[in-house]
Amino acid sequence: MGNSDAEYESLKGELSSNESQQATTRSEISDLDNKIQRLRDAYNKLDEAKESVKVQKNIVGNMPDFYESLWKGAHANSVYTACEASGILSTEYANYVDALDEIEDNINNEINRLNNIRSEKWGILQGLINAWNNLSTRIRNYFN
pTM of the model: 0.77
Indicate the domain borders of the chain.
2-51+93-142
String of DSSP letters for 63-126: HHHHHTTT--SHHHHHHHHHHSTTSHHHHHHHHHHHHHHHHHHHHHHHHHHHHHHHHHHHHHHH
Neighbours of 128 (CB within 10 A): 20
Neighbours of 122 (CB within 10 A): 14
C-alpha distance from residue 50 to each of 46, 57, 63 (Å): 6, 10, 20
pLDDT confidence of residue 3: 63
Per-residue pLDDT of the chain (144 residues; tens, 9 = 90+): 456 888 889 989 999 999 999 999 999 999 999 999 999 999 999 999 999 998 888 887 777 676 776 777 888 788 878 777 778 888 888 899 999 999 999 999 999 999 999 999 999 999 999 999 999 998 888 877
- At position 113, the amino acid (one-letter code) is R
Sign of the CA dihedral 44, 45, 50, 54? positive
pLDDT confidence of residue 1: 47
